[in-house]
Amino acid sequence: MSEQAFRAELGQHLARLWRYGLLLSRNRHVAEDLVHATCVRALERAGHYVAGTRIERWLLGLLHSIWINEVRTRRVRQEPARNGAETDNAFATKPHVMAAQVIRRVDGLPETQRAAVYLAYVEGFSYSEVAEILQVPVATVMTRLATARLKLAEYPPLYTVATSTEADHS
C-alpha cells in the first residue's frame, strides 16, 4: 500500500479513534491527543500494517497501547477527575432519555469493562478482535463482558417515555 493510500485509509477512521479515545480518557482534549499520537505512530509503523487486514482493528490497538503505556501510566495531564460534563451532550435531550441512561450506566463501569463493552457492542468487533485490540486473552474479554452485563443488570429498568395509548389509560 502506498503512503498516500495509507494516509487516506487512516483518515477514514479518525472519528472512530476519537470515540474510543474519549471512552478511555473521558476527556475531549486527551482523546484528541490520543488520536494524534495514534496517527503519528501509525505513520511511523505503516510498514508493520498488513495490507488487506482490518486497519481499524490495528489502529484501535495502537490507540489502546498508547493509552496504557504513555498517557495513563505517566499521567501526562494530571487532570482532576471528570465532573460528568464530558458525556452530558446531545444525548441529554428528551428524545434520547434512554440513550443517556444507558451511557451513564456504561460510563459507571470500570475502564476495562467499559472498553470491552464499547468495542464489542458499539463497534461490533468479535471477541477475538476485542482481545487483539486490548492485548488480552479472549477468555478475559468474555469475563469482562459477562461481568459488565451482570453489573448493568443490577440497575432498575430504564425509564421509558409513555406512548399516547399508555398515557390515556392512566
* Same domain assignment for residues 104 and 122: yes
* Same domain assignment for residues 91 and 51: no
Domain holding 4: CATH number? 1.10.1740.10
* Same domain assignment for residues 70 and 7: yes
Is residue 52 a part of any domain in this protein? Answer: yes
Residue 12, Cβ density class (10 Å: 0-12 exposed, 13-18 middle, ≥19 buried): exposed
* Same domain assignment for residues 46 and 98: no
Domain boundary pick from 65, 80, 95: 80
* Same domain assignment for residues 59 and 75: yes
- Look up the domain containing 129 and give its range: 87-163
Domain boundary pick from 20, 45, 80: 80
Q: Which of 13, 24, 1, 115 minimizes the C-alpha distance to 57?
A: 13
Total count of domains within the chain: 2
Is residue 41 a part of any domain in this protein? Answer: yes
Is residue 119 a part of any domain in this protein? Answer: yes
**Distance (Å, whole) CA 141 – CA 158:** 26
- What was the pLDDT predicted at 2? 83
Is residue 51 a part of any domain in this protein? Answer: yes
- What was the pLDDT predicted at 154? 86
* Same domain assignment for residues 61 and 125: no
- What was the pLDDT predicted at 53? 87
- What was the pLDDT predicted at 42? 94
* Same domain assignment for residues 63 and 29: yes
- CB under 8 A, 24+ apart: contacts of 37-40: 37/63, 37/66, 37/70, 37/71, 38/62, 38/63, 38/66, 39/10, 39/14
Domain boundary pick from 53, 80, 107: 80
pLDDT in tens, the chain (170 residues): 788 888 999 999 999 999 999 988 888 998 999 999 999 999 999 988 888 889 999 999 999 999 988 766 665 445 554 444 444 443 344 445 666 677 788 888 998 999 999 999 888 899 999 999 999 999 999 999 999 989 988 877 765 544 444 444 54
- What was the pLDDT predicted at 99? 64
For the chain, the three-class secondary structure string (H helix, E strand, C coil) is CCHHHHHHHHHCCHHHHHHHHHHHHCCHHHHHHHHHHHHHHHHHCHHHCCCCCCHHHHHHHHHHHHHHHHHHHHCCCCCCCCCCCCCCCHHHCHHHHHHHHHHHHHHCCCHHHHHHHHHHHHCCCCHHHHHHHHCCCHHHHHHHHHHHHHHHHCCCCCCCCCCHHHHHHC
Is residue 122 a part of any domain in this protein? Answer: yes
- What was the pLDDT predicted at 77? 47
Is residue 48 a part of any domain in this protein? Answer: yes
